[in-house]
Amino acid sequence: MEVGFLGLGIMGKAMAVNLLRSGFRVTVWNRTLPKCEELVEHGASIGESPAAVVRKSKYTIAMLADPRAALSVVFEKDGVLEQICEGKDYIDMSTVDVDTSSKINEEFSSHRNRVSLLKMCDSRFLLSLSDEWPVTGRDRTR
């Protein structure tokens, strides 16, 4: 299964590495290319834009630092909205406020194709995914 990952800060990098270690094919994108290149050593491929990552992936996870980054990745040229379509899921784990989440959600809701937008805001939901998705930031061997 191909998973896309947008944002490779402390949490994003750790989660993407754990996905790779668990056997997922992962395509990554970050505003700074050197962070992407670090993950190539673990088996990731690099997407040249958020749109390119979405195009390759069934699931795209965003772990972005702030509202500005989250909005930019979705709405700007070569952003998520250019490639998201029915059958693709966008999982937003970014650190953003309610207004930013609402703007993104409204756009996904009105998009010409029905797409899934999952906002990670409930730790119980994250725990329910833990058996299928190894997305925690810690090393399993500890």
CATH number, domain of 55, equals 3.40.50.720
Query: What are 8-32's pLDDT values in tens digits?
Result: 999 999 999 999 999 999 999 999 9
Residue at 138 is within a domain: no
Query: What are 96-139's pLDDT values in tens digits?
Result: 888 898 888 888 877 654 455 565 544 444 444 444 444 444 45
- The torsion angle over the Cα atoms of residues 4, 133, 25 and 142, rounded to 10 degrees, is 110
DSSP single-letter state for residue 76: S
For residues 20 and 137, what is the distance between their CA atoms, to the nearest angstrom?
12
Q: Give the residue from 133, 136, 83 showing the smallest Cα distance to 112.
A: 83
For residues 103 and 4, what is the distance between their CA atoms, to the nearest angstrom?
22
**Rounded mean pLDDT of 40-60?**
97
Residue at 139 is within a domain: no
Residue at 51 is within a domain: yes
Mean pLDDT of the chain: 83
Which helix (DSSP H) or strand (DSSP E) does residue 117 occupy? strand 116-119
> For the chain, what's the residue count?
142
Domain tally, the chain:
1
